[in-house]
Amino acid sequence: MFGSLICSASGFANIQSGSAILGSMIFAIVVVLVGIGIKIWKKYGKH
């Protein structure tokens, strides 16, 4: 799921060529979402 998210984000960044700020913003958002997901999984995934 996260892999396809990163692929679509990088593909979108490639379409917006010349918009490095937008690409890095998307990448940062993806990284934050992955980090939050891992924290939630560690908190609630193990019983």
Domain chopping of the chain, boundaries: 2-44
Rounded mean pLDDT, 26-47: 90
Write down the pLDDT at residue 23: 75
pLDDT tens track for 14-34: 655 656 777 788 889 999 999
Which amino acid is located at 28 in the chain? A
pLDDT band at 46 (very low <50, low <70, confident <90, very high): confident
Handedness of CA 40, 41, 45, 47 (dihedral sign): negative
pLDDT at 35 exceeding the cut of 60: yes
* Terminal Cα-to-Cα distance of the chain (whole angstroms): 23
